[in-house]
């Protein structure tokens, strides 16, 4: 069953046809009009109330269809999650940095939703998986402590906004005390007077003109200037020296569990998460910042960026599956080479959503092109006839990880 899906127009999204979200929608929906002046940031595929999908032929919401035909979810899903699709599937097209953010665990999500329902609109957690479709920049988790200390020893402006006393404590902290002192340093940074943050950022950026190329590369001069241009005077610009910076190549993925600080910076990706829209923000955003809550729940564990990457397992010659340590979702990446006439999708015991990113397919006597989104009931056998044989066909399939 083909779905008609929601598009979110956030200001960090790519403009018009530069956005993969827009081009996918336009390819699969002849009546979709792209406005070159608008930002097409996210394509939502699922049942979340902030952007629900509809059955294209019946104009019935996917949520309503599932409620009336609960067997399509599969018995394991119903037993584990009730009558709800437990994941939200997305495509993101990022032109400038998303906010520095963290997602609460289930217990904290319920508490925040009860206390502040207008801000935290659902009681669910939001672990997420991002798979790069293009070169994809992100900040994720705190750097190894030696890298953080190296920046503190060489960037006086960073020391000024964190505070010399705090920095001195961190540089001398025993391993067992690093997390506590790092928390103190991060709190000091995020609550620093905004005028002082603006002054120190300008000092640092002005100083970049007088340093050699190797130092510019180490200090991430281009990234700092880009973030400062998009979010002038924002304290989040300094976090590039505390968080892991990574550039994912197409097909590489990161998993972000509860309480892990992160910010996506640029590029296009497939994203899948538990069905939630709970976000606690602290920087690089004009939206509401909730610094006290973010610091309260934040994980201050320092890990290398490789620890944030997630490797897929090979399911067959053409399919590899990313399985994060959460039951709500897994994502299969399916690549069919040129010249292969057909492929049988592996039947899943749970309902799934299939997105065609590249290529054209014949399924059940219908033709589906790039950007088509299909809901597949549990245990359905689906044969895909490849109709465009000159390029690889690329698809992603999201389903519960049970």
Q: Tell me the per-residue pLDDT of 210-253, one tens digit each, with 9 for 90 and over.
A: 888 899 999 999 999 999 999 999 999 999 999 999 999 999 99
First to last CA, the chain: 23
Write out the two tokens for 306. Answer: 């490789």
State the pLDDT at residue 120.
Answer: 87
Longest dimension (CA), the chain: 70
CATH numeric code, 3-140+247-286? 2.60.120.10
pLDDT by residue (tens digit) across 67-110? 999 999 999 999 999 999 999 999 999 999 999 999 999 999 99
Please, how many CA atoms are within 13 Å of residue 332, restricted to the half-sphere of its CB? 23
Alpha-carbon distance of 145 to 151, in angstroms, equals: 10
CA 342, distance to chain mean position in Å, is 32
Helices (H), 116-174: 145-154, 156-162, 164-172
| Structure tokens that stand for 14 in this block | 């790519």
Boundaries of every domain in the chain: 3-140+247-286, 144-239, 313-399
Q: Structure pTM? A: 0.95
Could you tell me the pLDDT band of residue 66, with boundaries at 50, 70 and 90? Answer: very high
In a 3-state reduction of DSSP, which class is residue 140? Answer: strand
State residue 389's pLDDT score. 65
Four-way CATH pick for 313-399: 2.60.120.10, 1.10.10.60, 1.10.287.70, 2.40.70.10: 2.60.120.10
d(CA 264, CA 262): 7
Look at residue 305 in the predicted model and tell me its pLDDT. Answer: 85
What is the C-alpha R_g of the chain? Answer: 22
The domains spanning 3-140+247-286 and 144-239 adopt the same CATH topology: no
Contacts of 400 (CB under 8 A, 6+ apart): 74, 76, 77, 80, 81, 86, 87, 327, 328, 329, 330, 350, 351
Structure tokens at 276: 């939630």
Query: What pLDDT band is residue 30 in, cutting at 50, 70 and 90?
Result: confident
Q: Which of 105, 257, 282 is nearest to 186 (CA)?
A: 282
Distance (Å, rounded) from C-alpha 103 to C-alpha 88?
Answer: 15
pLDDT of residue 390: 67
Report the distance separating Cα 144 and Cα 156, nearest Å: 20
So which residues are the catalytic ones?
281
The whole-number pLDDT of residue 211 equals 83
- Pair of tokens at residue 50: 């902030």
> What fold characterizes domain 144-239?
Phosphomannose Isomerase; domain 2 (1.10.441)
Q: Which residues pair with 343 in a beta bridge?
A: 384
Span 298-336, pLDDT tens digits: 999 999 988 999 999 999 999 999 999 999 999 999 999
Q: Whole-angstrom Cα distance, residue 384 to residue 402?
A: 24
What does the mean pLDDT of the chain come to? 94
The two tokens of residue 172 are 């001398």
197 vs 30, which has greater pLDDT? 197
- pLDDT, position 119: 86
Does the pLDDT at position 278 exceed 90?
A: no
d(CA 119, CA 279): 9
pLDDT at 253: 98
Check whether 4 has a pLDDT greater than 90.
Answer: yes
Q: What secondary structure letter does DSSP report for 309?
A: B
The closest of 147, 163, 185, 170 to 302, measured between CA atoms, is 147
């Amino acid at each position: 069953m083909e779905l008609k899906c929601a598009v979110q127009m956030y200001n960090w999204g790519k403009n018009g046809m530069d956005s993969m979200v827009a081009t996918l929608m336009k390819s699969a929906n002849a009546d979709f009009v792209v406005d070159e002046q608008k930002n097409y940031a996210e394509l939502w595929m699922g049942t979340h109330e902030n952007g629900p999908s509809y059955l294209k032929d019946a104009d019935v919401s996917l949520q309503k269809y599932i409620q009336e035909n609960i067997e399509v979810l599969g018995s394991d899903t119903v037993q584990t999650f009730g009558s709800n699709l437990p994941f939200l599937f997305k495509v993101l097209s990022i032109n400038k940095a998303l906010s520095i953010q963290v997602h609460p665990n289930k217990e904290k999500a319920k508490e925040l939703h009860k206390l502040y329902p207008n801000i935290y609109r659902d009681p669910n957690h939001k672990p997420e998986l991002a798979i790069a479709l293009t070169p994809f920049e992100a900040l994720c988790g705190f750097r190894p402590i030696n890298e953080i200390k190296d920046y503190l020893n060489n960037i006086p402006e960073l020391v000024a906004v964190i505070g010399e006393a705090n920095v001195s404590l961190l540089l001398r902290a025993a391993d067992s005390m690093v997390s506590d002192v790092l928390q103190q340093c991060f709190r000091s940074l995020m609550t620093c007077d905004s005028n002082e943050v603006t002054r120190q950022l300008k000092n640092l950026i002005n100083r970049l003109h007088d340093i050699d190329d190797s130092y510019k590369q180490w200090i991430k001069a281009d990234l700092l200037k880009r973030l400062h241009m998009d979010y002038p005077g924002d304290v989040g610009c300094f976090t590039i020296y505390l968080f892991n910076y990574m550039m994912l190549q197409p097909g590489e993925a990161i998993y972000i569990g509860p309480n892990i600080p992160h910010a996506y910076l640029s590029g296009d990706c497939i994203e899948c998460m538990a069905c939630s829209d709970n976000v606690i923000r602290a920087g690089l955003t004009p939206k509401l910042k909730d610094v006290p809550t973010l610091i309260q729940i934040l994980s201050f564990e320092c890990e290398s960026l490789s620890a944030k990457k997630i490797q897929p397992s090979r399911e067959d010659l053409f399919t590899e599956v990313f399985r994060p340590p959460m039951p709500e979702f897994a994502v299969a990446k399916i690549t069919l080479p040129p010249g292969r006439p057909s492929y049988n999708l592996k039947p899943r015991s749970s309902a799934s959503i299939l997105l065609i990113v590249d290529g054209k397919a014949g399924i059940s006597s219908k033709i589906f092109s790039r950007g088509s989104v299909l809901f597949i009931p549990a245990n359905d056998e689906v044969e895909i006839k490849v109709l465009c044989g000159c390029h690889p066909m690329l698809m992603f399939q999201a389903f519960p990880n049970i």
